[in-house]
A and B are shown apart, each in its own frame.
Chain A
Amino acid sequence: MKSALRIACSRQNLQQVRDFVRGHLTGRGFADVAVNQVVLAVDEVVANFIIHANGEDASQYLDLTLLLKNQALDVEITDQGDTIFLPVPAPAPDLREYIRQSRKGGMGMVLVNRLMDRVEFFTRGNHTVCHLSKVLT
C-alpha cells in the first residue's frame, strides 16, 4: 500500500505529517510503540528539512511517500527546494554534557538513526532525498 503527501515548509504542518504516517500504519496490528517510533523518525527528518534546509520558507515544499509491503515500510521524503541538505552522521550525544550546557538541539538525527533500520540521505538532481526503512513488528 502506497500513500503520498505534499506539505509546505512550515512547522505548523508537522501535525499533518504525523497524522498521515499514523493513518497509514494504524489498524494493521503493529504495536503502538513501533508506530510511534516511525512517526517520530519521519517528524524529525521533516522538521530538519523545514527548519534547517528551507529556513521555514512556506513557499517551498516537501513530498512524502510511504510504501508498506507486509511488515516492511519504506518512507521517502523529497525536499523540493534547491538547497542540498545532507546531515553528517552524529556521534552518540553526551546527554550529561547537554544538560550542563542547557542544549536544546542535536538529538533529532540521533533518534532517527536509532529508530529506523536504515537511514539514507542522497541527492536526486538538485534536490535532497531521505529514505527511511524499517520492518515493523
Chain B
Amino acid sequence: MKVTAQPSADLLTLLLDGELDASSAIVLDTQLAKPEILNYRKVLVDCTKLSYISSAGLGVFISHLQPLQDKDVKLVFFNMQEKVFNVFEILGLDALMTIVPTQAEAISA
C-alpha cells in the first residue's frame, strides 16, 4: 500500500495505490493523523489504484472523519472501483461519506 500526498493550494489529494488491509492501514492512518491536514479546505482521496479495502481501512477513514468535519475539512473520494465501492455500500458508508465518480466532481463537491 502506497499513499502519496499531493498538496495544491487549499486542496490535498491522497493517491492510494494497492490494498488497504489490517497490515497496511497504519500507512494511511499516519498520513491522516498529521496535524497539517486540518489546514486544508478539502482532502480528496484518489481511489483509482485502490484495489482492495477491508474493515481496517474503512476504520481509518471513519476514525478521522469527525475531526476533519469539526475543522470544516471535507473528505471526498473519487474514481472508486466498483468492488471497493461495494464494500462501502454493504455497510451503508456510501450514505455517510462523499463518494463521487470523477476528480472534477470531487474538486467541486
Once A98-B62, A102-B66, A103-B63 are accepted as A-B contacts, the answer to whether A111 and B90 lie under 8 Å apart by CB is yes
B83 pairs with A33, CB closer than 8 A: yes
Q: Is A47's beta carbon under 8 Å from chain B?
A: yes
Q: Is A68's beta carbon under 8 Å from chain B?
A: no
Q: Which residues of B contact A95 (CB under 8 A)?
A: 62, 91-93, 96
Q: Which residues of A contact B66 (CB under 8 A)?
A: 99-102
B64 pairs with A102, CB closer than 8 A: yes
Partner of A108, one of B19, B55, B92, B96: B55
Chain A residues within CB distance 8 Å of chain B = 11-12, 14-15, 18, 32-33, 36-37, 39-40, 43-44, 47, 50-51, 93, 95-96, 98-105, 107-108, 110-111, 114-115
Give the residue name and chain of the A residue nearest to B86 (CB).
A33
B83 pairs with A47, CB closer than 8 A: no
**How many B residues touch A, CB cutoff 8 Å?**
26
Bound together, the chains give a CA A99 to CA B55 distance in angstroms of: 14
Bound together, the chains give a CA A129 to CA B21 distance in angstroms of: 22
Give the residue name and chain of the B residue nearest to A11 (CB).
B23
Q: Which residues of A contact B87 (CB under 8 A)?
A: 36, 40, 111
Bound together, the chains give a CA A103 to CA B61 distance in angstroms of: 10
A107 pairs with B19, CB closer than 8 A: no
A105 to chain B, nearest CB (A): 6
A32 pairs with B83, CB closer than 8 A: yes
B91 pairs with A111, CB closer than 8 A: yes
Bound together, the chains give a CA A119 to CA B92 distance in angstroms of: 21
Give the residue name and chain of the A residue nearest to B29 (CB).
A104
A40 pairs with B54, CB closer than 8 A: yes
Q: Is B58's beta carbon under 8 Å from chain A?
A: yes
A14 pairs with B23, CB closer than 8 A: yes
Bound together, the chains give a CA A47 to CA B58 distance in angstroms of: 14
Once A40-B54, A99-B96, A105-B59 are accepted as A-B contacts, the answer to whether A14 and B91 lie under 8 Å apart by CB is no
Partner of A37, one of B62, B67, B86: B86
What are 19 A-B pairs at a CB distance below 8 A? A11-B22, A14-B22, A15-B23, A36-B83, A40-B87, A43-B21, A51-B22, A95-B92, A95-B93, A102-B66, A103-B63, A107-B58, A108-B54, A108-B56, A110-B55, A111-B55, A111-B87, A114-B90, A115-B90
Give the residue name and chain of the A residue nearest to B25 (CB).
A104
B23 pairs with A107, CB closer than 8 A: no
